[in-house]
Each structure stands twice: as structure tokens, then as C-alpha cells.
């Protein structure tokens, strides 16, 4: 299999295919610039849903955030998985991979703080049309369960669907 990543493609829609080796700079802003992360947004009680990240693997049940109205610094939550030693959260924005986290907790705010980000503190923010997932991994580091690939937007839903690996290939 060739190691073929010398050419970059234009950015793909957030939850269409990712552009391999596309720009991965974290979008930074401040809560002051974007407004308080969760102070003005009412999150729905409806459990989020989407397509399986990988068919056939055990499922991580996600508790939040909802697809719309997640706020710009959402709190990602999921049910603990038996046998999991750690979890990986991955967030893909309109321009490619946006942010990731790894830890033992089963909830984390975007940016990695265990508490709501205070105004003035820089960090990544969710853009409309983003997708996220959580992967549970065992003590040996291998994947044991995956969530669905879930749409998330800071305010109103943009009606996007997150489809793993559905986009165009790179040249």
C-alpha cells in the first residue's frame, strides 16, 4: 500500500469525507469572543443518534450533546463501557479534524477542561456541521466499542449527517 500523502486536497464538508492530511489546526477562540459556552443554549433531552462509526463493534451509548444547541464548547457525555480503560473523543469540523481527547472519564468539555470554560480562556469551539464520536479502548489499547458518528452544531442544526468514510478520495 503506498504511502501517498504528498498532495493535499481542498477541504471537504465536515461530515462527508475527511481530507486526508488536510489542515488540522485547532480553531481557537475565546468564550469571550464567542459568547459563554453553554449559558445561552438549552440542550434537548433527546439522545443524539447517528450512523455507527464502525459496523459490527459493540456500541458506546452517548448521552450528549444533542445535535443542535450544543453550545460552542459542548460537554460530551457517554455511558461507561465495561472493560474500557480509556476513551478517545474525536471531533471533526468543517475543515477536518478539530480536536481530540483521551482519558478515563465519561464526560469532557470540548478543549479538555473538566469544568465549563470560563470567559477569556482560549480553546477550540464547535462549528456548525461538525461530527464527533467516542471510542472505548481496553487495557491493551485496542478498540472494544465505538459510538455512532454524531452530528453536532452550536446552535440550530444544519441538518447534516455524519457518514464515516463517505467522501472523495485524495489525489
Partner 1 sequence: MTTRLKRLALAPLLFSTLLVPTHAGAQDGEIAFPPIGSGRWEGVVLASGYLSSDGVRRDGSFNTSVTDVIDDTEITLDFVVGDNGQVTSGRMRVDLTWFVESVGTAPVTFEPYRVVSDHHQTGSLAISGNAKELVAAGTLTHQSNTVSDGVFVEEVSGTRIGEIKWGFQVLEANCVLVTGAPVWAAGASVMNEARHPPGTSEDPPYTYSNRLAVHLMAWPADDDVFEDPEGIKEALEQITLAADGIRLREYPEAIHLLELVQAWNALKAELAGLEECQATVLGWVPQSEESWLVDLLQQGLIKALDNPDDYKASDFIDFWVVGLSEGALDNALSVRFLNAFYNKLDEAIADGDTDSIYDILSFAAAYNFSVLYSQAMAAFQGASE
The residues binding partner 1 (CB under 8 A) are 1-6, 8, 12, 15-18, 20-26, 28, 30, 32, 53-54, 56-57, 88, 90, 92, 96-103, 112-115, 117-122, 124, 131, 133, 135, 137, 140-143, 146, 149, 164-170
Do residues 152 and 15 lie in contact, with contact meaning Cβ atoms separated by under 8 Å?
no
Residue 4: CB minimum distance to partner 1, A: 8
Residue 3: CB minimum distance to partner 1, A: 4
Residue 12: CB minimum distance to partner 1, A: 8
Residue 163: CB minimum distance to partner 1, A: 9
Which of residues 41 and 144 has its CB atom nearest to partner 1 in the complex?
A: 144
Which of residues 81 and 98 has its CB atom nearest to partner 1 in the complex?
A: 98
**What is residue 114's three-state secondary structure?**
coil
Residue 164's closest CA among 11, 59, 5, 14?
14
The CB density around residue 80, as the number of other CB atoms within 10 Å, is: 13
Measured between its terminal Cα atoms, the distance across the chain in Å is 15
Which of residues 61 and 112 has its CB atom nearest to partner 1 in the complex?
A: 112
Residue with cell 470567559: 119
Residue 126's closest CA among 75, 74, 62, 59?
74
Which of residues 122 and 155 has its CB atom nearest to partner 1 in the complex?
A: 122
How many residues make up the chain in this entry? Answer: 171
Which of residues 128 and 146 has its CB atom nearest to partner 1 in the complex?
A: 146
Residue 157: CB minimum distance to partner 1, A: 19
Phi, psi for residue 34 in degrees, rounded to 5: -100, 0
Residue with cell 439522545: 47
Amino acid at each position: 500500500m503506498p504511502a501517498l500523502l504528498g498532495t493535499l486536497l481542498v477541504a471537504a464538508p465536515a461530515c462527508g469525507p475527511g481530507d486526508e492530511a488536510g489542515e488540522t489546526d485547532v480553531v481557537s477562540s475565546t468564550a469571550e469572543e464567542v459568547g459563554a459556552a453553554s449559558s445561552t443554549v438549552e440542550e434537548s433531552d433527546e439522545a443524539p443518534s447517528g450512523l455507527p462509526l464502525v459496523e459490527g463493534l459493540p456500541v458506546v451509548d452517548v448521552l450528549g450533546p444533542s445535535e443542535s444547541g450544543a453550545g460552542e464548547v459542548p460537554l460530551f457525555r457517554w455511558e461507561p463501557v465495561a472493560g474500557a480503560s480509556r476513551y478517545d473523543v474525536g471531533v471533526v469540523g468543517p475543515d477536518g479534524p478539530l480536536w481530540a481527547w483521551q482519558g478515563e472519564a465519561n464526560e469532557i468539555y470540548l478543549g479538555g477542561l473538566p469544568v465549563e470554560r470560563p470567559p477569556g480562556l482560549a480553546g477550540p469551539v464547535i462549528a456548525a456541521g461538525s461530527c464527533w464520536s467516542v471510542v472505548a479502548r481496553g487495557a491493551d489499547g485496542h478498540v472494544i466499542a465505538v459510538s455512532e458518528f454524531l452530528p453536532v452544531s452550536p446552535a440550530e442544526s444544519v441538518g447534516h449527517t455524519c457518514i464515516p468514510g463517505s467522501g472523495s478520495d485524495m489525489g
